[in-house]
Chain A
Amino acid sequence: MDNNKNKKIFISGGGGEKDSYPLDKEFIQGIEGDRKSILYIPIAMNADPIKYEACYDWIINSLAALSGEFLDIAMWTNLNDKTEEDLNKFDAVYIGGGNTFKLLQHIYESNFFSILRKFINKGGIIYGGSAGAIIMGKNINTVSEENDRNYIYNEGLSMVGDYSIICHYQENLDEKIVKYIATYNNPVIALSERSGIRIVGDSVKVVGYDPIIVFNLNKEKSVIECGVEFSL
């Protein structure tokens, strides 16, 4: 479990830019560097060069509209051989959606895992959307159906205390979440596409249009409304 007081993490439920507007706005406002440089990592996506170009266009259009200032957004489609020095050039990292297992496998196998942890511990800001959000939790088997290629990694970055994360939440996922808790013994934060959380140190604030749902180890659900803060 990570107890770092410097961490600033934004976790989105995986909707479009209109759904995540309040969270995205707080994310952009939270970037303090002169350059406002953001690294976008879309590698969870199964993409060809044209798709990656479209992803890059999308992130720029989504985030640039939220800032009066110029945002310098870079994109990495391969994490192999990236160093701490490379990452420290950025004020924030945005990890996008796609296949959660594919994303986590590449993060581990490229040794980016430890670099990202150091970046977070130094106060670097992270935004995770959908797959990028789920890897912030303790275990990614909340979306075990995405493991379509016998991926071997399932331990997430544990940036949300003992919680695992599930995105695109709807009530019909309750049974699956309860089964997950019974198997892995982790509480779960469930985010609809219009909800999100902002974590600063060990304080969590619900940011979005919808409340979040927290499933405890007794598999009981509690609804936490937008604007409410709680501790990890």
Chain B
Amino acid sequence: MQNKFEIMPNNFEEKDFSLAYHAELERFMKTNKLEFYSSDKREIENGDSTPLMEKYTFQANPENPESMELETPEFLNSFFESKGYGVTKPKSIINKGGTTLFVSAGVQVLDDMVFNEKKISEKKLFVAQPVFRTQYMDQVGEGFSTTFINIASEIANPSVANHFDAINDWVCLLEKLGLKKEKITLKTREKEPQWGDKKFKDFILMIYYDGLEIGDANYIYDIPQKTRDSLKISDIGFGLERIKWILKGGSYFNEKEAEDPRVFDYCKTMALLTGSGLRPSNKEHGYRLRQLSKRLMDSDKKFDELIPALRYYYNYWKKWTYLTMPESGAIEVANTENKRNSKQVD
């Protein structure tokens, strides 16, 4: 079905985008009976994550079993396929090209299109992308981990209405998983971010559940291109682990992880990095592996005690992404680095 914003002429001006966007937003909120989020918490204006509250109401019910539907990507893949999306394989966590050393958001599956001006994808895409946010290294705790799965839909050159249709698909998914629509609130932001040398405009819709930030929907436009008209992208992403947290209740971490979240988080990330073929070094990608290991070995854990956790997480990641290094090799690389950085005497 073609809607009123399906075709945008090249001279579609910024004020037109703004009008179209806000009209669609109003219609979307009215149809879904959604409200804006309000908070008394201090926030900096960087578009940094909204600070977490002390306690969320969903945490009061810690007895829920973990959602089996979200233990592997199959359920999510079939849901989005049923909505007409093509499921794309996640990128290796080790980013080659692009603007960051590691993949830190699902939208980076479009890097070739944005930065190398490769073919524009005609299909709506869904990806369950493991990501590494090195900026969270010192913030590991309830709701924060250095690696997580960013489930994301990506549409190239969408109309504003296409973008809101995609947001509706996500609302439908959240309801199907058991989340209640009336607990979803929204916050809008307008930004002019820059990735590498690409400066563009972004209408951001932050999405909260019960006050917890769970995702965002970005309508990005005016992405400059050298050989063709500027691009638009609908980029909608959610943190899978935060959704699982809501469904599970209680702690963000499982029982074992809760004993020492930082240690287990660093093991989880090391398993993904070594499983992806990374080796430690003092610079570039390998720097991060060494940094994680050094911090891990600052704990009172002995390096060989961590092997079971490394194995566990290697097999966890294997369900979500292609790991180039066999399990034995990946564990060996991580364990050797941990031993190197250990204060433990053999």
> What residues make up the interface of A, taking CB atoms closer than 8 Å to B?
43, 45-54, 56-57, 60-61, 64-65, 67, 69-70, 72-78, 80, 102, 106, 109
* Cβ contacts under 8 Å, B283 to chain A: 60-61, 64-65
Partner of A47, one of B47, B196, B282, B287: B47
Partner of A102, one of B45, B108, B282: B45
* Cβ contacts under 8 Å, A70 to chain B: 282, 290-291, 294
Q: Does residue B133 face the partner (Cβ distance < 8 Å to A)?
A: yes
| Chain A min CB distance to B77 (Å) | 24
Q: Does residue B170 face the partner (Cβ distance < 8 Å to A)?
A: no
Q: A54-B100, A64-B282 are known contacts. Are A48 and B44 too (CB-CB below 8 A)?
A: no
Question: Which of the listed residues B99, B104, B138 has the most CB atoms from chain A within 10 Å of its own CB?
Answer: B104
24 contacts between A and B (CB under 8 A): A45-B46, A46-B47, A47-B46, A48-B46, A48-B47, A49-B47, A51-B193, A53-B100, A53-B135, A54-B99, A54-B196, A56-B135, A57-B134, A61-B283, A61-B284, A65-B283, A74-B137, A75-B134, A75-B137, A76-B138, A77-B44, A77-B48, A77-B135, A80-B51
Residue of B nearest to A67 (CB): B282
Asked whether B137 lies within 8 Å of A53 as measured between CB atoms, the reply is: no
Asked whether B102 lies within 8 Å of A53 as measured between CB atoms, the reply is: yes
| Chain A min CB distance to B100 (Å) | 4
Asked whether A77 lies within 8 Å of B196 as measured between CB atoms, the reply is: no
| Chain B min CB distance to A85 (Å) | 13
A-B contact count (CB 8 A): 88
Q: A48-B193, A56-B134 are known contacts. Are A80 and B42 too (CB-CB below 8 A)?
A: yes
* Cβ contacts under 8 Å, A53 to chain B: 100-102, 104, 133-135
Task: Identify the 10 closest CB pairs spanning chains A and B, nearest first.
Answer: A53-B100, A64-B283, A53-B104, A57-B101, A48-B193, A54-B99, A48-B47, A52-B135, A54-B100, A70-B282
| Chain A min CB distance to B220 (Å) | 10
* Cβ contacts under 8 Å, A65 to chain B: 283
Asked whether B287 lies within 8 Å of A77 as measured between CB atoms, the reply is: no
| Cα of A61 to Cα of B101 in the assembled complex, Å | 10
Residue of A nearest to B47 (CB): A48
| Cα of A48 to Cα of B192 in the assembled complex, Å | 10
Q: A43-B46, A72-B291, A80-B44 are known contacts. Are A50 and B104 too (CB-CB below 8 A)?
A: yes
Q: Does residue B36 face the partner (Cβ distance < 8 Å to A)?
A: no
| Cα of A46 to Cα of B42 in the assembled complex, Å | 17
- Interface residues contributed by chain B, number (CB under 8 Å): 35
* Cβ contacts under 8 Å, A54 to chain B: 99-100, 195-196
* Cβ contacts under 8 Å, B247 to chain A: none
> What residues make up the interface of B, taking CB atoms closer than 8 Å to A?
42, 44-49, 51, 99-102, 104-105, 107-108, 133-135, 137-138, 191-196, 202, 282-284, 287, 290-291, 294
Partner of A49, one of B51, B105, B284, B287: B105
| Chain B min CB distance to A184 (Å) | 27
* Cβ contacts under 8 Å, B284 to chain A: 61
Q: A53-B133, A77-B135 are known contacts. Are A60 and B47 too (CB-CB below 8 A)?
A: no
* Cβ contacts under 8 Å, A69 to chain B: 282
* Cβ contacts under 8 Å, B46 to chain A: 43, 45-48, 77-78
Q: A49-B135, A54-B99, A54-B100 are known contacts. Are A78 and B48 too (CB-CB below 8 A)?
A: yes
Asked whether A64 lies within 8 Å of B100 as measured between CB atoms, the reply is: no
Asked whether B294 lies within 8 Å of A48 as measured between CB atoms, the reply is: no
Asked whether B195 lies within 8 Å of A51 as measured between CB atoms, the reply is: yes
* Cβ contacts under 8 Å, A46 to chain B: 46-47, 191-193
Q: A54-B196, A74-B137, A77-B48 are known contacts. Are A49 and B294 too (CB-CB below 8 A)?
A: no
Asked whether B195 lies within 8 Å of A78 as measured between CB atoms, the reply is: no
| Cα of A78 to Cα of B44 in the assembled complex, Å | 7
Q: A47-B193, A50-B104, A51-B194 are known contacts. Are A64 and B287 too (CB-CB below 8 A)?
A: yes
| Cα of A69 to Cα of B134 in the assembled complex, Å | 21
| Chain A min CB distance to B17 (Å) | 19
| Cα of A45 to Cα of B195 in the assembled complex, Å | 13
| Chain B min CB distance to A66 (Å) | 10
Residue of B nearest to A35 (CB): B294
Residue of B nearest to A39 (CB): B138
* Cβ contacts under 8 Å, A77 to chain B: 44, 46, 48, 135
* Cβ contacts under 8 Å, A78 to chain B: 44, 46, 48, 51
Asked whether A43 lies within 8 Å of B44 as measured between CB atoms, the reply is: yes
Residue of A nearest to B195 (CB): A50
* Cβ contacts under 8 Å, B101 to chain A: 53, 57
Residue of A nearest to B138 (CB): A74
| Chain B min CB distance to A82 (Å) | 10
| Cα of A56 to Cα of B51 in the assembled complex, Å | 21
Residue of B nearest to A55 (CB): B135
| Cα of A67 to Cα of B195 in the assembled complex, Å | 28
Asked whether B99 lies within 8 Å of A75 as measured between CB atoms, the reply is: no
| Chain B min CB distance to A7 (Å) | 26
Given contacts A53-B101, A54-B99, A65-B283, 16 further A-B contacts (CB under 8 A): A43-B44, A47-B193, A50-B100, A53-B100, A53-B102, A54-B196, A57-B100, A61-B283, A69-B282, A70-B282, A70-B291, A74-B137, A77-B44, A78-B44, A78-B51, A80-B44
